[in-house]
Structure 1
Amino acid sequence: MTDTDAIDPSVPPSGTGCVECDTVGGWWFHLRRCATCGHIGCCDSSPAQHASAHYKTTGHAFIRSFEPGEEWFWDFSADELYESGPELAPPVAHPEDQPVPGPAGRVPEDWARSLHR
């Protein structure tokens, strides 16, 4: 990683789901965590793509997967993947009983048709 000053390992995640999707009753495919401020947003395969929208709005370039068992980081500004990085404040993933896609009860039956590829 090149600009790790942009990462604040002490900031906890904003919640267990995408902040914006939760506000409007939407759903997501996978979740991403801003490594600067802790914002949880949905991935670019999700219908609303809130994690990358957060980057475009704030300039916070580093995200980490918020999926159980995944430790990778992504740098939007360099368009680069990092297999690991600094340990972030817990929790490091959404609850394991939260379904993917999620959250339970808000995912349409034909959800795969709504994914961005």
Structure 2
Amino acid sequence: MTTISDPHLRLVRPVEPLTPQGCAECLRIGSAWVHLRLCLTCGHVGCCDSSPLRHARAHAHAIGHPVVQSFEPGEDWRWCYVDEVYV
């Protein structure tokens, strides 16, 4: 996987997952998810674009926190929703 330098990486902070048990919004409404993403600015846990409600992307665009990391065991990649690239 190729990564690039992304200006949005300046928004990355040390975070703890706010809802380590799953997607915050899906847990609240009782919806299912496919995979989880961790916001690297605030610790929000949201569901991926393959999930029915795409809460991680919605959070990134609504709140302005563009960089997420996979919250799946064994995965360590990061994604920028603004530039649509691995970072």
TM-score by length of 2: 0.88
2:33 to 23, 28, 33: 28
Structure 2 alignment gaps of length 5 or more: none
Indicate the structure with greater helix content: 2
Structure 1 Cα separation of the partners of residues 66 and 53 of structure 2: 18
Greater Rg over alpha carbons, structure: 1
Match of 1:15 in 2: 19
1:41 to 39, 46, 49: 46
1:1-117 aligned within 5 A: 1-3=5-7, 4-9=9-14, 11-16=15-20, 17-82=22-87
> After the TM superposition, which parts of structure 1 deviate over 3 Å for at least 4 consecutive aligned residues?
none
Structure 1 alignment gaps of length 5 or more: 83-117
How many residues align? The count is 81
**What is the RMSD of the two structures over their aligned residues, measured on CA atoms?**
0.9
Percent identity (aligned): 47
